[in-house]
Amino acid sequence: MRHILKLIFLLVFTSGIISASVVAKLDKSSVELGEMASYSLEISGENIQRPDIKTLCGSSIVSSSSQTNIRGVNGKFKKSYTLSYGFAPQKSCTIEPVEVEINGRVERSNSVAVKVGAVTRTDNHDFTLTLSSDKKELFVGETLELTLTLKQKLNSQAIDSQFVPPELKGFWVKNEPKPLKSQDGNYEITKLVYKLAPQREGKLTISKAQIKVATKANSDDDFGFFVQALKWKTYLSNELELSVKPLPSNVSLIGNFTIKATPNKKEMNAGEAVSVNVEVVGTGNLEDIKSFKPTIDEVNIFDEKIAIEGAKLTQNLTFVADKDFTVPAFVLKYFDTKTKSVKTISSGEIHIKVNGAKPKEELVIKKALDKENFIKSDIAVGHDNTTLFIAFFIGLILGILLMWVKLPKIFKREKKSFIDEPKQLLVKLLPYKDSDEVREIMDILENNIYSNEKQNIDKKRVKEILKRYKIE
C-alpha cells in the first residue's frame, strides 16, 4: 500500500513538472529594416514569475502585452499565459532562450531567429528619414552642419510617434536645433540642422536617427471580435562616417577670426579703474579660447567670465593702478581653414595715462662718517658705558609700555581708515562684484568718487561683507 501511495505522488508531481513549459515564437521570421516584429512567450504552469525583458536583438522594446488563456481538458481547466513584446530589429540575429520561474523551478524557452532584410520601395513609404553633412573631411574643432530631414506624406495616418535622435559621440554640439518645416508636393518636410565640431581625430560615425510611428491596425481577437489596435513601425536614417584630421601641434583654435580691444577711457586718476572689452568675432571653436587676463607689474587686474553669443566672444577686464601703464596686445593664433595655414592676429597695445601718479621713492644712502671724525665725536660726548646702558634700558622699558598702550588703537585706526577710504575700499571689493550686495556698495562708492555725490554707506554692513569674504 505504501508503494502505491508513493507511485501516485510521483505521478502527480511529475505531471506538474511536465505541464510547466515556456515556448518562444515570432510572428514573422523575416522583416524589413525598421519593420516591427512580435516576440511571444507561451507559458504553462502556476506561480509564474514574469521575466524582465527590456531589449531583443539589441533593440528596445516598443510595446508589450499579456494574455491569459483558459482551456478545458478532460473536464479540468488549465491556465496558460502569453507574453508579447514588439520590437524593431536592426540586424539579423538569434534570440537566445529566456528563463522563466514556474512553481519555484526555472524553465528555459527555445531560441528563435529573425532575419532583417533591406528596405524596399522607399519612394512609397509614408515616412523617410535622411542624414546629410556639408563636410565629409575636416579638422579637429572645425564646425560642420549636420542636417536631419524627415519627409512625411500628407495623408499618412499617424496616431503617435517617438523620435530617437542620432548619437553624436565624439562631437561638441554647438546649438539646440529648431525644426524648419516646408512642403514639397505630397510631402511635409521637417529639417533639423545641428552645428557640430569633432573632438578627436580619426574616423567618427554618426549613428542612425529613428522615428517610431504608430498607425491604426484592424484585427480579430481570440473570440472572433473585431478590434482596433496600434501598429508600430520604425523608420531609420542612414549612417554618416566622417574623416577627421589633427590640427598642427602649435595651435588649438581653428576657423577664421578677428580681434579687437576697446577701453572705456585712456586717462584716469590714481586709484580709479579702467575697463577694457575684448571682442573676438568669427567662425570656429570659440569655446576653446581661454581668459585674456594679462600680468602687469603694480597693476591690479580683474577678469570677468567669457561670454559667447553666436559667432561673437566677449570678455571684460578691469585695471586699477596708481601710475601710467600699458595693456599688452591680445594675441590669437589659429589654423585658417580657407588658406590651410596658421595665422596670428593681435589687438594692439593700449596706453593708459594715470593723473596724480605717485613718484617712485628714491633710496637715499648717506655716507658713513669718517672713522677718525666718529672717534672724535664719541670722545667729545664723554658718556661712560654704565650711563649709556642705564639710559638704553630705561628707554627700552618706556618704549615697550608705550607700544602696549597704543598698539590696539593703531590697528583700530588703520582698520577704520581702510573702511573710510572710498577708492581703496572700491579696489578691494572689485573681485566680488558678481554679488548683488557688493555691487550695491560699489555703485554708491563710484557715484561718490566720480560723480561727487554724498551718499551714506552702512559701515556695519560693509564690515560684515569684509568679514564674510575675508577681505583684508
Mean pLDDT of 123-147: 88
Mean pLDDT of 54-67: 85
Assigned C-alpha cell, 70: 483558459
With cut-offs at 50, 70 and 90, classify the pLDDT of residue 412.
very low
- 254-355 and 122-245 share a CATH fold: yes
- Report how far apart, in Å, the C-alpha atoms of 92 and of each of 29, 132, 147, 256, 432 are: 10, 26, 29, 47, 62
With cut-offs at 50, 70 and 90, classify the pLDDT of residue 421.
confident
Where residue 310 falls (left for φ over 0; alpha for ψ -120 to 50; beta otherwise) is: left
pLDDT score of 435: 82
Beta bridge partners of 227: 219
pLDDT at residue 345 tops 80: yes
Assigned C-alpha cell, 298: 603694480
Half-sphere exposure of 20 (CA within 13 A, CB side): 20
User: What residue type is assigned to position 266 of the chain?
Assistant: K
Give the chain's length.
472
- Least trusted range by pLDDT, from 75-89, 219-233, 291-305: 219-233
Closest by CA position to 344, among listed 246, 250, 249, 245: 250
Assigned C-alpha cell, 403: 607700544
Most confident of 99-103, 273-277, 466-470: 273-277
pLDDT at residue 343 tops 90: yes
Domain range annotation of the chain: 19-117, 122-245, 254-355, 387-468
Assigned C-alpha cell, 19: 505541464
pLDDT score of 416: 47
- Report how far apart, in Å, the C-alpha atoms of 332 and of each of 141, 254, 289, 305, 319 are: 16, 11, 9, 18, 21
Closest by CA position to 23, among listed 4, 5, 45, 8: 45
pLDDT score of 391: 63
With cut-offs at 50, 70 and 90, classify the pLDDT of residue 386.
low
Sign of the C-alpha dihedral, residues 72, 73, 79, 83? negative
CA distance 312 to 315: 10
pLDDT score of 7: 46
pLDDT score of 414: 44
* 429-438 pLDDT per residue, tens: 877 777 888 8
pLDDT at residue 369 tops 60: no
pLDDT at residue 2 tops 70: no
Percent of the chain with pLDDT over 90: 34
Query: Candidates 1.10.260, 3.10.450, 2.60.40, 2.40.128; correct CATH number of 254-355?
Result: 2.60.40
With cut-offs at 50, 70 and 90, classify the pLDDT of residue 357.
low
* 85-114 pLDDT per residue, tens: 988 888 899 999 999 988 888 999 999 999
Is CATH 2.60.40 what the domain over 122-245 is classified as, yes or no? Answer: yes
Most confident of 162-166, 275-279, 379-383, 385-389: 275-279
* 138-184 pLDDT per residue, tens: 999 898 999 999 998 888 877 888 888 898 999 988 888 899 999 98
Mean pLDDT of 42-60: 87
pLDDT score of 308: 92
Query: Candidates 2.60.40.10, 2.130.10.10, 3.40.50.10860, 3.40.630.10; correct CATH number of 19-117?
Result: 2.60.40.10
**Considering the chain, what is the average pLDDT of its residues?**
80
pLDDT score of 136: 92
pLDDT score of 370: 47
Of residues 86 and 218, more confidence is placed in: 86
Assigned C-alpha cell, 324: 601710467
- Is pTM beyond 0.75? Reply is no
With cut-offs at 50, 70 and 90, classify the pLDDT of residue 244.
very high
- Report how far apart, in Å, the C-alpha atoms of 413 and of each of 57, 189, 406, 409, 454 are: 80, 76, 10, 6, 23
Assigned C-alpha cell, 360: 617712485
* 8-30 pLDDT per residue, tens: 444 444 444 446 889 999 988 88
